Amino acid sequence: MCNITKEKVFEAISTVIDPEVGFNLVEMGLIYDAIVDDACNVHVIMTLSTQGCPLHQMIKQWVEEAVAKLEGVGTIEIEVVWEPAWNISMADENVKKALGGM
Amino acid sequence: MKAISSDFAPPLKLISPFFNAGVTFYLFSMLALLFFKPSFAYEQMDVAGWVHLFLLGFVMMVIFGAMAQLIPVVLEAGHVVVDVYYVIFPLLLVGTSLMVFGFWLVPSILPYGGLLVLVAMMIFAVENVATLKKTSIRTLTIDAVAWSNGYLLLGILTGFAIALGLSGNLDINIPLMLKAHVYAVLGGYVVLTIIGLSLILIPMFSLAHGFEETAIHRAFKWVITGVAVVFVGALSSQEWLMYLGYAINTVGVLFYIWQIYIIAKLTVRKELDIWAKSMIFAFGTLILSLLLGLAYFVSGIESILHASVWFLLLGFISSMITGHLYKIVPFLVWFERFAPLVGKEKVPMLHEMYSKEGASMMFWFTAVGVMIAGLGLLFESDILFKAGGSFLFTGAIFLYITMRKMLAYGK
């Protein structure tokens, strides 16, 4: 039985910070879902704040490395999607407030 | 899925010389302003020397360095031969220096400087076109890169013809060729490049999403048409055609301003950092430049045209470039020196990599200098122009220092 939960995956990814805005990917609302199967294989579905992001590959790698730190994790798949497109309403209140979007 | 690439990013050591040289030329060009009078003619050799110091030494130098990084981001493909930038840099550096000295002191060396710049730009344009062929993606930004490179080639060829004409090696109508050259380079290359990259960079840094892009597509079509009409009008000595081209371009720029307004309304990031302040100033001075341009066509007063061109060059183009330098340079330095350390040790945020106070001083001295010197040109006041020049030179010192520190951060 796998003891990695979706919450634990989100917690692990929350250590990854976007160097441009200074917030972690989870509070930015960029992590859409994390699916964990019985064998502890993790499938993260995420987006980026802009399609032209030159850090695209690197951010994927950071997310993968963060998830890999979870004990007992199996294979890790990071899927970047553009639908639904990210917008500020997906971010936490503290991010909205700090960016001035509210 | 869009897969962009850190893998295609050129090394910092390839790009940083362009930025270092660019801000150094900017510093020299602001210093040189102190030796100019506010009333002049475009055909004056010393004015041509200053324009090349500023446009080639600062504007083109920084754009070329930035394009080495941005082309892979825009095209989602690596450069065909990124190492050509190691060749482009010294050619552009030496060529620009020779041209400026040629204009100011020894006209006979102009063609040699012109030839070096010609070769540098040919390599740049050919490499860009070859890289463009690698991608099947069609976006407005990619079309803008393609068209701007075509105009750059026309600008280079007309410029080289002028250099030969000035040194007495070619019998051409220099004033008309000069108009074609200025329009191909400024309107065709610089403005089109800015329009194309705006669609990527401004929403990226302001976190604006879901905006309608019709206006910028119209802007692009009107500007490429307008530049072509002016270019043909200048080469065929058809003044009415040139005026038609100016009108078409004005409509294009208005569409561009409208697009920026649409993006600005959807901007999530409200923080007024150095980039945001620079963008506000850039677009404010672009509008001012347009208004003064219209006033010139109505009045025919030469000093109004000088002020219009001033606000376009030192207000809009210069602020667009310096504002983006405070975003692009920290990113490049961070990517090279800190990205590999992520997850292993604490790494700085991009905004922590430059002095906010230094950047702020750069902005305010520059903005005040642009306005005062612009008034000096408008009213042909030597005192105002020199005062503005002093502010601009001080701002340039802050730009130079903050940029050097950013490039050395974490070394």
Question: B329 and B403 in contact (C-beta within 8 Å)?
Answer: yes
ipTM of this complex > 0.85? Answer: no
User: Both B51 and B2 in a single domain?
Assistant: yes
Q: Which residues pair with A45 in a beta bridge?
A: A33, A79
**CATH 3.55.40.20 describes domain A6-99:** no
Report the range of poorest mean pLDDT among A52-56, B175-179, B360-364.
Answer: A52-56
Question: What pLDDT shows up at residue B3?
Answer: 39
| DSSP 8-state code for residue A36 | E
Number of separate domains in chain B: 3
Question: Who has greater pLDDT, B137 or A17?
Answer: A17
Domain boundaries, chain A: 6-99
**Residues in B touching A56 (Cβ below 8 Å):** 2-6
How many CB atoms are located within 10 Å of the residue B176 CB?
17
Size of chain A, expressed as the number of residues it contains: 102
Residue appearing with tokens 């720029």: B253
What percent of chain B has a predicted confidence (pLDDT) above 90? 59
CA distances from A66 to A31, A39, A52, B344 (A): 13, 18, 23, 11
Determine, yes or no, domain membership for B340.
Answer: no
Give the DSSP H or E segment for B410. none
Q: Which residue of B has its CA nearest to A53?
A: B4
Question: B192 and B141 in contact (C-beta within 8 Å)?
Answer: no
User: Both B107 and B45 in a single domain?
Assistant: yes
CA distances from B36 to A11, B31, B33, B377 (A): 62, 10, 5, 11
**Residues in B touching A58 (Cβ below 8 Å):** 6, 335, 339, 342
Of B1, B210, B351, the CB nearest to A85: B210
Of A19, A87, A101, the CB nearest to B210: A87
Q: How confident is the model at residue B7 (pLDDT cuts 50, 70, 90)?
A: low
Considering only CB atoms, which residues of chain A are within 8 Å of chain B? 15-17, 19-22, 49-58, 62, 65-66, 80-82, 85-88, 99-101
Of B270, B296, B323, the residue at which a domain comes to its end is B270
Query: Which of B1, B4, B273 to mutate: most A Cβ within 10 Å?
Result: B4
Mean pLDDT taken over chain A: 86
Determine, yes or no, domain membership for B8.
Answer: yes
CA angle, residues B72, B75, B77, in degrees to nearest 5: 60
Mean pLDDT taken over chain B: 90
**Binary contact (B204, A50; C-beta < 8 A):** yes
How is residue B85 written in tokens? 């930038």
**Residues in A touching B75 (Cβ below 8 Å):** none
Question: What pLDDT shows up at residue A30?
Answer: 92
**B321-379 pLDDT, tens digit each:** 999 999 989 988 988 888 777 767 778 888 888 999 999 999 999 999 999 999 999 99
Of B270, B290, B305, the residue at which a domain comes to its end is B270
User: Both B193 and B162 in a single domain?
Assistant: yes
CA distance B164 to chain A (A): 42
Mean pLDDT (whole number) for B2-10 = 54
**B16-75 pLDDT, tens digit each:** 999 999 999 999 999 999 999 888 777 788 898 999 999 999 999 999 999 888 888 777
User: Both B247 and B221 in a single domain?
Assistant: yes
d(CA B297, CA B291) in angstroms, rounded, equals 10
**Binary contact (A85, B1; C-beta < 8 A):** no
User: Both B257 and B360 in a single domain?
Assistant: no
d(CA B292, CA B375) in angstroms, rounded, equals 12
Report the range of poorest mean pLDDT among B134-138, B226-230, B232-236.
Answer: B134-138
**Binary contact (B209, A57; C-beta < 8 A):** no
Determine, yes or no, domain membership for B408.
Answer: yes
Among positive and negative, which fits the CA dihedral B248, B249, B251, B256? positive
Residue B112 has pLDDT above 60, yes or no: yes
User: Both B169 and B220 in a single domain?
Assistant: yes
Range of B62's domain? 1-137
User: Rounded to an integer, what is the distance from CA A56 to the centroid of its chain?
Assistant: 12
Of B203, B347, B350, the CB nearest to A20: B350
Question: B82 and B10 in contact (C-beta within 8 Å)?
Answer: yes
**Residues in A touching B1 (Cβ below 8 Å):** 80-82
Residue B161 has pLDDT above 90, yes or no: no
Q: Look at residue B348 and give its three-state secondary structure.
A: coil
User: Both B251 and B285 in a single domain?
Assistant: no
Of B111, B137, B163, the residue at which a domain comes to its end is B137
**Binary contact (A80, B209; C-beta < 8 A):** no
User: Both B266 and B377 in a single domain?
Assistant: no
Helix, strand, coil shares of chain B, percent, nearest 5, are 80, 0, 20
Q: What is the CA radius of gyration of chain B?
A: 20
Residue B6 has pLDDT above 60, yes or no: no
User: Both B114 and B209 in a single domain?
Assistant: no
Residue among B311, B408, B4, B316 nearest A56 (CA): B4
User: Both B189 and B260 in a single domain?
Assistant: yes
Question: What pLDDT shows up at residue A102?
Answer: 42
Residue appearing with tokens 């579905």: A45
**B243-255 pLDDT, tens digit each:** 999 999 999 999 9
d(CA A95, CA A93) in angstroms, rounded, equals 5
User: Both B308 and B392 in a single domain?
Assistant: yes
Residue among B16, B121, B26 nearest B321 (CA): B26
Mean pLDDT (whole number) for B300-309 = 94
User: Both B257 and B317 in a single domain?
Assistant: no
